[in-house]
Amino acid sequence: MSLEPGYLTYPKRRLGYDHDLYRWSALRDRQPVSWPGGKTVAVWICVSLEWFPILPGDTPFRAPGHMVTPYPDYRHYTSRDYGTRIGLYRLLDAFAQAGATVSVATNSTIAERYPAVLADIVAAGHEIVAHSTDMNGTIASGLPIDEERALIATALGTLERVSGKRPAGWLSIARSQSWNTVDLLREAGVSYCCDWVNDELPWRFNNGLINLPLNHELSDREIIATQQHSAESYAEQIGDAFDWLAGEAATRGGRMLPIHVTPYIMGLPYRIDAFETLLTNLAGRAETWFAPGGEIVDAWSAQQ
């Protein structure tokens, strides 16, 4: 079967990608990255702190983890609320014990409804990343650009007003974007987003926005809630990932381990011990640099 003549003349068929959003770059071909203090593995913990309206929105899609049974779905609503009331504080205690500074990707409605929670996160020295308005604030290609611009502005503005600092980072719900999101985030002054998972180190869009990959395969939602593994298995898998990255970093430059955590999943009393043990083990490794996303982006940017 012969190829259509147009296949060979497609103007964007070339080495790398057939788009101009960002350039092709294989990790093995890049200049090695180094992290502060001679550390070789940046451990980036990102906590998703979310508010789920009891009446879910299905436009453009229903967010993962949203209400399931007919309204009012008190069972799922209150289990999500457990994460804000109890689970988050267990995580904050675990981070303090391990000496870990983290990112907390926060719906702006959390800031409006529970400003004391935001104050506790900031007082502990952690970074706030914007995570839309609430879990009905999803983004996809069908969302009108003016509505998306307003959603981004509301989330950033509310978090800045309540926390005292404008977030530099953005995490979309379900990591979902429209064709306009990258430019709208740059327009709004965001430095980095966490939605594109096609790498293990930061990289830059052609418009200047940086992407900090938050691998969903290493999240508690994927490993524990979706794949139904135990907390101990989760901790073992994260530890295995660290070992592999540390081995690569010994000869190929700094690596990054993203750990995505959900308070209403990991903050339960029968899981938090495994998570604390994981953090203790990571803290005891000479290679570990616990850092929030903004610090990792800054360290990487200074070397580009």
What residue segments make up the domains of the chain, in order of their start? 33-301
Q: What is the share, in percent, of the chain residues with pLDDT greater than 90? A: 93
Q: What are phi and psi of 170, to 5 degrees?
A: -140, 135
Residue 276, amino acid: E
pLDDT digits (tens, 9 = 90+) for 163-202: 999 999 999 999 999 999 999 999 999 999 999 999 999 9
The sign of the dihedral angle between the CA atoms of 58, 60, 62, 63 is negative
Architecture label for domain 33-301: Alpha-Beta Barrel (3.20)
Looking at residue 1, what is its pLDDT? 61
Q: Please report which residue ranges of 253-303 form alpha helices under DSSP H.
A: 263-266, 272-283, 293-301
Asked whether the predicted pLDDT for residue 215 surpasses 80, the reply is yes
Asked whether the predicted pLDDT for residue 14 surpasses 80, the reply is no
pTM: 0.95
Rounded CA separation 145/159 (Å): 21
First to last CA, the chain: 45
pLDDT digits (tens, 9 = 90+) for 233-264: 999 999 999 999 999 999 999 999 999 999 99
Per-residue pLDDT averaged across 147-161, rounded?
98
